[in-house]
Amino acid sequence: MDLFVAEEVDALRAEIEEHNYRYYVLDDPNVPDAHYDRLMTRLRELEAEHPELQSPDSPTQRVGGKAAKGFSQVAHEVPMLSLDNAFSEEDMQGFNRRVQDWLNSSGEIEFACEPKLDGIAVSLLYVDGVLVRGATRGDGTTGEDITANVRTIPSIPLRLRGRGYPAELEVRGEIYMPKDGFNALNEKAAGAGEKTFVNPRNAAAGSLRQLDASMTAQRPLQMCCYAVGAVKGGELPSTHSDILDRLHSWGLRINAESKVVQGLDGCLAYYQQLLEKREDLAYDIDGIVFKVNDIAFQKRLGFVSRAPRWAIAHKFPAQEEMTVLQDVEFQVGRTGVLTPVARLQPVFVGGVTVSNATLHNADEIERLQARVGDTVIVRRAGDVIPQVVRVVLEKRPADAREIVFPSACPVCQSDVERLPGEAVTRCTGGLVCGAQRKELIKHFASRKAMDIDGLGDKLVEQMVDEGMIADLADLFHLQLDAVADMDRMGPKSAENLLAAIEKSKQTTLPRFLFALGIREVGEATALSLARHFIDIHALFDADDNALQEVEDIGPIVAGHICHFMQQAANLASIDALIDAGVQWPAIEPAGEQPLSGQTVVLTGKLELFSRSEAKQRLQNLGAKVAGSVSANTDWVVAGLGAGSKLKKATELAIEVLDEQQFAERLAQLEGQS
């Protein structure tokens, strides 16, 4: 026997036992599932190749970890076994072939298919239809008594419905936490400064092992049934799918995605269908469980030491993997936000090779306790940007380096700032920061801003990349020949674009203020600023107190405006735009407008006006246009298909106008103003 093989087996067993302890006892796993699966696969391979190394205390000979302290133990009358895994089409072909060989059949086998929920396996015991015990799987033979906790889960019936159920019925299933509930739980924990959960399964495990059941009751847990265990004093149907349907008729929840298919091709098609649908599901799944549907066939196939021969879990590509954080770089976004980006040792996760992942902000780095050189767990789900979700502190090298945010913008060298109460760090460069230039110009040219028809995103990017635009005012100095020589342009298109740019010079002060891209200055705020100050130079001179006199402007927005107007480069850019010919009609000081102080809500589909036109005309009359109905709403305009907002307005006895009545009121009010 090779001494090195024996040493590797011992090391694998020790590492797997440590992971089992962290997961089953501490509820604190520190490696992704895929890494654990690879350890188990390697250990099984070595034990198969070297039978003399097999041992009854090997992790391959049992299902899970030890029962957690704090709960009484429950012995499972019928062991709760794990499933063998398939990671490829070839693995599934091998499983199907083995089933056919064991059954001495060359025909297509009927399989029951179920999504493999990423949760915690549990056993529920019903006696005469009443729930008397709930238990975790534990090590497959002995679990923990969590009866008080499972009784708090709404999808678990305390008494079965209907009739015909066995005198004793053990139901097995998966308790899990839906994605929305998990996100809400983590947001609440983060807001309270508490530790957040790594993933929904970790959250479900922690929730079930609360010694105080009232804590479990506060967690958004659900359960789906997938099998039965011990059954006494009654008969069940002859197929697995029919058993699930029977459980459902007794009030137990089963997965709506479950299906029966014929043969290997049916299994592979179902796998692909659910893989494509995976991200749209309300819960996490990490694969598909395929079971021979005929119960008589299941009994003939039997079990190996730790798993049934008649079932297999076809795993999806891992969404979490382990790698090394090699460096951190800082990217600057359109609004000047500095985002730390982890440069990773390339790793295959979520179906692609990942070498970069977001670290979000300084708070997230502190929460993770991340350092350059750390071993980290990276998660990529569907099209979501890969992110570092955990640091494996036990693997931290001695030379790991702290991650330090730069004091100057990496692009324009302007100062960076982090305002009190904000999680992000920003560049103060405003209109002069090259990283923000493209997005700023796109915003400046957009329909609700300067409305430059034909100046699309790709054209802006090309102009900036080729050095044609370095500042907003450069738009108004573009030359026909240079524009015509651009890709996919030509003389006619260039003429049309320059004509649209020239036309955009005639604008309004609210549009111009909105176009500047000042933080949190949207259309409504820009309109309020223009009406209040009338002249842009008066706005330049306004201090924080003067700005807060404007309707709906509080200290935060006033601070953003002040900061923008205090930057010499921003004022120089505005002067350059005015010098280039951008202008707007003078605003006459407004007296009391017909709808001053009134709040209006638009709902449903409008046919006589566009939504933006209706909003603009209301604002021109002094109204505030809100997005939701409240006791402060003065009246509501209800178009076709108006729903919940109309209902709430009716409940609050708020005046409601149809579109024709709205048009008549507008005409009347505009005639007065």
Is the Cβ–Cβ distance between 495 and 478 less than 8 Å? no
Residue range 228-275, pLDDT digits in tens: 999 999 999 999 999 999 999 998 999 999 999 999 999 999 999 998
Instruction: Flag whether 420 is in a domain.
Output: no
**What residue numbers bound the domain in which 472 lies?**
429-589
- Boundary residue ending a domain (268, 286, 315): 315
What pLDDT score was predicted for residue 484? Answer: 92
Q: Could you tell me if residue 654 is inside a domain?
A: yes
Q: Which residue has the higher pLDDT, 565 or 245?
A: 245
Q: Is residue 66 part of a domain?
A: no
Question: What burial letters (b/e) apply to 199-227, b meaning 16+ CB within 10 Å?
Answer: bbbbbbbbbbbbeeeeebbebbbbbbbbb
Q: Is residue 348 part of a domain?
A: yes
Q: Which of 315, 333, 360 is the last residue of a domain?
A: 315
Q: Could you tell me if 238 and 105 lie in one domain?
A: yes
CA distances from 129 to 77, 124, 155, 250, 358 (A): 19, 11, 15, 9, 50
Is the overall model pTM greater than 0.85, yes or no?
A: no
573, 471 contact by CB (below 8 A): yes
Between CA 562 and CA 605 the distance in angstroms is 38
Can 458 be counted among the known catalytic residues? Answer: no
292's torsion region: left (phi>0), alpha (psi -120 to 50) or beta?
A: beta
Q: Identify whether 635 is part of a domain.
A: yes
Encode 442-452: b = buried (16+ Cβ within 10 Å), e = exposed.
bbbbeeebbeb
Residue 520 lies in a domain: yes
pLDDT level of residue 162 (50, 70, 90 thresholds): confident
Q: What are the tens digits of pLDDT across the range 112-148? A: 999 999 889 999 999 999 999 999 998 888 999 999 8
pLDDT at 590: 55
Give the E-state strand segments of 87-221 in sequence order: 110-117, 120-127, 130-136, 142-144, 168-176
Q: Is the pLDDT of residue 344 over 90?
A: yes
Secondary structure, 3-state, 329-361: EEEECCCCEEEEEEEEEEEEECCEEEEEEECCC
- Number of alpha helices (DSSP H) and beta strands (DSSP E) in the chain: 24, 24
The answer on 605 and 567 residing in a single domain is no
- Measured CA to CA, the distance from residue 427 to residue 433 in angstroms comes to 8
d(CA 39, CA 23): 15
The verdict on 333 and 364 lying in the same domain is: yes
What is the C-alpha to C-alpha distance for residues 257 and 82, in angstroms, rounded to an integer? 21
In a domain, residue 291? The reply is yes
CB atoms within 10 A of CB 51: 7
- Which of 182, 224, 218 has the alpha carbon at shortest distance from 203? 182
Are 437 and 553 in the same domain? yes
> Could you give the CA distance from residue 197 to residue 70 in angstroms, rounded to a whole number?
21
Q: What is the CATH number of the domain that holds 614?
A: 3.40.50.10190
Q: Tell me which of 66, 69, 116, 492 is the catalytic residue.
A: 116
Tokens of 593: 């407008």
Q: Percentage of residues in the chain with pLDDT exceeding 70?
A: 95
- Which of 315, 341, 372 finishes a domain? 315
Mapping DSSP onto H, E and C, the string for 226-255 reads: EEEEEEECCCCCCEHHHHHHHHHHCCCCEC
Domain assignment present for residue 422? The answer is no
Please tell me the predicted confidence (pLDDT) of residue 591. Answer: 59
Tell me how many domains the chain contains. Answer: 5
